[in-house]
A = this chain, B = another copy of it.
Amino acid sequence: MKAVSFDRVTLGGFWGQWLEKLQAVTLPTVYDRFSETGRFEAFEFRWKAGDPKQPHIFWDSDVAKWIEAAADLLAQRSDPALEAVIDRVVELIALHRDPCGYFNIYFTVCEPEQRFQRRTDHELYCAGHLTEAAIAYYRATGKDRFLRLMQDYMAYIKKVFIEEDRAAFSTPGHEEIELALVRLWETTGDEQYLEMSRYFVDQRGVSPKDIAGGHNNDYDQSDRPVRDITEAIGHSVRAVYLYCAMADLARLTADDALRKACERVFRNITERRMYLTGGIGSAARGERFTEDYDLPNDVDYAETCAAIGLAFFARRMSLLAPDSRYADAAETAIYNGVLSGISLRGNAFFYVNPLEINLQQHRIEKDWYHRDDPLLTQRVEVFSCSCCPPNIARMIASIGDFLYSYDEQTVFVHHYFESKAAFDGVTLTQTTGYPFEGEIRLRAQGLRGKTLALRLPGWADAPLINGQAPADVRAGYAYLPVEADDVTISLSLDLTPRLMAADVRVHADRGKAAVCRGPLVYCMEQIDQAVPLGQLVLSADLQPTVAQDAALGCPALEVNGFRELPAAALYTRYPPDRQPCRLRMIPYFAFANRGESDMQVWTRI
């Protein structure tokens, strides 16, 4: 199966607006922050011991992700100023790279004697992100200088790591280069990059250099060979980046054992270790997966980058097999745990995405029980560890990648975006207010004699195609033969808000329910309620009404609930006094855009 690249897609509607914000706000904001903190200046290689703004081991990757996002935008919108910024960075890379091909700011200006000596220090991770940036820039502009520089670097990496095996480690402590190498193969057609990717994947958990001692090997997925993976373990971003490469390689090399490992770990994540929002990695210490059903809401981590990585992995799984569970998971992450990471204005970011903020309880646990879990209640413009802002930027810039894939007979429609796509003689036009509306009109041109496969979202009850229940549904896709050159199909998805429960094994969600509408998880913010969130209870008979929130620019809900009132005594006969009331809810991705406020996704019922 082949993916349709985002540069074949023109977006309007929901994602069109995000692209506008990306160009007008997000990319300039992140650029400014990176400039202020010295990340761009670092490419000048002038830092000396004692100077301020010492380059950090992951700064290369921060700028690389920003370039990738900017390049992806350039593929869709002209922006000469942006292009000039990238050209200048490429110039500096060409100027300061080692003649052997090596390029890494930190390990050149700060610790040159440590090149390829410290597995945990993000050297190959940076190489991967720079390569992805170079690919994006080449695809957007046709300029190949950056790409060639990175090919030189990869040749050097191949020599040191594979041909001469003289680095201090065999596989990177933070995965990323594996999936970048697959993309490099896709772009150049040069098989050696696929082989390199496979080498790094296959050596993982095998190479004695990396696993000596055995301590913490699970943290960076080095505790076992990749084909033996059964559960999502360790640092969550590292993990899903690895699974992306595994899914790519399973597809491109028809590696059945690798495919089975991908399927197992995808099931483990989505059936046991994922928040309702698509957030993954519960624990702040180690930013990691913990164990099945451990999904606390108030101290969760659910890093934005991890949700992005999950969407990337799920998209690659969609290419392995047409099963709607993959696009369902991608959709859940994208509209909830990813978008919550950026403010509605596009200028501020969450690294951690809690499902519950209870300021009083957090203070009590800190003051009296000496618990000091991370809590960030407002998105910030500056991060010292700034992986998420440019990562969410590049995801928005390339969101069209998620839309379609195809093989000889069938075009798969994985998502519903207001958009027009043209590829291989086919034109697909979607007209829809998705994700806020459930009606989609899909015009398909140039598909006569082929098949359209429309994903029926797992959340949708009784979807209708052209007003009928679809006849041929397999693994969540409705297969429709296309009998004319130009056909228009309507898909109706019921967006009636629905009450969701978590498996009872999820300790944090017992006795609670969440409200979803279409792909969107909703939440309550204190600012909308008359009493503290903890005193509110959902009614099982929601009686929902939907109304546009002008300030947030998205539909808010009102549903039936109750207020529990403070009692006459500390302990009274059950039941406590309750007053019926209406509860206002907003999309989870829109929380924390109106000042600091308690928030919760899961509410007692």
Contact = CB atoms under 8 A, between A and B. Distances in A.
A422 interface: no
B500 A285 contact: no
Contacts of A367: 290
A531 to B, nearest CB: 9
A189 interface: no
B570 A274 contact: yes
Q: Give the bracket for the number of chain A residues in contact with chain B.
A: 35 or more
Given A504-B535, A507-B361, A285 B570 contact: no
Contact of A574 (B276, B499, B534): B499
Q: Which interface residue of A504, A510, A513 has the most chain B CB atoms within 10 A?
A: A504
Contacts of A535: 504-505
Contacts of A537: 511
Q: Which interface residue of A565, A571, A604 has the most chain B CB atoms within 10 A?
A: A571
Given A285-B370, A364-B291, A567 B511 contact: no
Given A271-B570, A505-B566, A540-B575, A283 B368 contact: yes
A573 B515 CA distance: 10
A571 B369 contact: no
Interface string A553-568: 0000000000011110
Given A503-B566, A510-B534, A574 B291 contact: no
A500 B574 contact: yes
A272 interface: yes
Nearest to A289: B368
Interface in A203-238: none
Interface in A446-503: 498-503
B369 A299 contact: yes
A354 to B, nearest CB: 14
Nearest to A458: B569
A569 B534 contact: no
Contacts of A605: 574
A283 B371 CA distance: 12
A571 B368 contact: no
A1 to B, nearest CB: 26
A569 B368 contact: no
A218 to B, nearest CB: 13
A282 interface: yes
A195 interface: no
B570 A502 contact: yes
A168 interface: no
Interface in A319-371: 358, 361, 364, 367-371
Contacts of A574: 499-501, 513, 540, 605
A317 to B, nearest CB: 17
Interface string A230-260: 0000000000000000000000000000000
Contact of A500 (B498, B500, B503, B573): B573
Contacts of A371: 369, 371
Contact of A504 (B358, B370, B505, B566): B566
B571 A503 contact: yes
Interface string A524-568: 000000000011010010000000000000000000000011110
Contacts of A566: 503-505
A136 B176 CA distance: 76
A580 interface: no
A112 interface: no
A125 to B, nearest CB: 24
7 contacts: A285-B369, A290-B364, A299-B369, A369-B371, A371-B371, A505-B535, A505-B566
Given A283-B368, A502-B570, A511-B511, 20 more contacts: A271-B570, A272-B570, A282-B368, A291-B368, A294-B364, A361-B507, A371-B371, A500-B574, A502-B571, A503-B566, A503-B570, A504-B566, A504-B567, A505-B535, A507-B534, A510-B564, A510-B604, A511-B537, A513-B574, A540-B574
